[in-house]
Structure 1
Amino acid sequence: MLAGSAILFALVLVLFLMVFLRPGWGSRIAPGRWIVLGGLVLPAIVLIPLVCYALYAGEQLLPLPGHAPQRIEAIAKQWDWTFRYPDQGGVETHGVLHVPAGTPVDIVVTSQDVVHAFWIPRFAGKIDAIPGHATHLRIQADQPGEYQGLCNQFCGLGHAGMHFTVIVDRPEDFSAAVKQAAATGEMNK
Structure 2
Amino acid sequence: MFHRPFFASFIALGLASCSGDLSALDPAGPYAGAIANLWWIMLAGAGAILTLVLVLFGLVLFRPGFGRSLSVKGWMIAGGLFLPVPVLMALMTYGMAQGEYLIGAWQNEPVMARVEARGAMWRWDFRYPDVGSDVATMETLHIPAGGVVEVRVTSADVVHSFWIPRLAGKIDAVPGHTTVLRIKADVPGRYAGICAEYCGTGHAGMRFTVEAHSPETYRQRLTALTAEGPAP
- TM-score range for the pair, normalised by the shorter chain length: 0.7 to 0.9
What secondary structure is seen at the aligned counterpart in 1 of 2:172? strand
- Amino acid in structure 2 at the alignment position of 1:38: G
Give 1:60 shift.
Answer: 4.4
Give 1:172 shift.
Answer: 4.0
Equivalent residue runs for 1:1-189 within 5 Å:
1=41, 2-61=43-102, 62-63=105-106, 65=108, 67-68=110-111, 70-90=113-133, 91-181=135-225, 183-184=227-228
* Cα distance change on mapping 1:158 and 1:39 into 2, 3 Å: same
Alpha carbons 1:88, 1:175 under 8 Å: kept: no
Alpha carbons 1:63, 1:69 under 8 Å: kept: no
Per-residue Cα deviation, 1:17-44 (whole angstroms, up to 9, x for no partner) = 3333335434433444444443344334
- Aligned partners of 1:169, 1:120: CA distance in 2, in Å? 16
Percent identity (aligned): 50
TM-score by length of structure 2 reads 0.64
* Cα distance change on mapping 1:66 and 1:140 into 2, 3 Å: closer
Cα root mean square deviation, aligned:
3.0
- Aligned partners of 1:65, 1:121: CA distance in 2, in Å? 23
Q: Which runs of 5+ in 2 are unaligned?
A: 1-40
Alpha carbons 1:93, 1:182 under 8 Å: kept: no
The range that moved more, 56-65 or 100-109, is 56-65
- Aligned partners of 1:114, 1:44: CA distance in 2, in Å? 41
Give 1:149 shift.
Answer: 0.8
TM-score by length of structure 1 reads 0.76
